[in-house]
Amino acid sequence: MKKVIFLVDMQTFYASVEKADNPKFQGKPLIVSGDPERRSGIILAACPLAKEAGVKTAEPLWQAKIKCSEAIIVRPRMQRYIEVSYQITQILEQFTDLVEAFSIDEQFLDVTGSQRLFGDPLEIAQRLQIAIQEGTGVYSRIGIGPNKVLAKIACDAFAKKNKEGIFQLDSANMKEQMWPLPIGKMFGVGSRMEHHLGRMGIQRIGQLAQFPVHILKKRWGINGEVLWQIANGIDYSPVTVNTHVNQKAIGHQTTLPRDYGTLEEIKVILLELSEEVAQRVRAKNYRGNTVSVGVRGADFENPTGFHRQVKLTTPTNFGMDIFKAAFKLFCTHWDRLPIRSAGITLSQLQSADSFQLSLFDFSMRKEELNQAMDVIRSKYGQTAIVRASSLTKSGQAFARAEKIGGHYK
Q: What residues form the annotated binding site?
A: 9, 105
How does strand 166-168 pair with strand 140-145?
parallel
Please state the φ and ψ torsions of residue 143, each to the nearest 5 degrees.
Answer: -100, 135
Rounded to 10 degrees, what is the CA torsion of 203, 206, 212, 218?
A: 50
SS3 label, residue 316: strand
Under DSSP, the state recorded for 355 is -
Q: How many CA atoms lie within 13 A of 55 on its CB side?
A: 32
Cβ atoms of 60 and 69 closer than 8 Å: no
User: Which one from 100, 106, 265, 275 is the annotated catalytic residue?
Assistant: 106
Angstrom distance (rounded) from CA 311 to CA 315: 9
CA-based nearest residue to 8, from 126, 117, 116, 175: 126
> Is 106 one of the catalytic residues?
yes
Angstrom distance (rounded) from CA 385 to CA 408: 21
Under DSSP, the state recorded for 252 is E
**Conformation bin of residue 278: beta by default, left when phi > 0, alpha when psi is -120 to 50:** alpha
Cβ atoms of 106 and 7 closer than 8 Å: yes
Q: Under 8 Å CB-to-CB from 111, ≥6 apart: which residues?
A: 4, 5, 6, 95, 96, 98, 118, 121, 124
Angstrom distance (rounded) from CA 333 to CA 339: 13
Give me the active site residues, please.
106
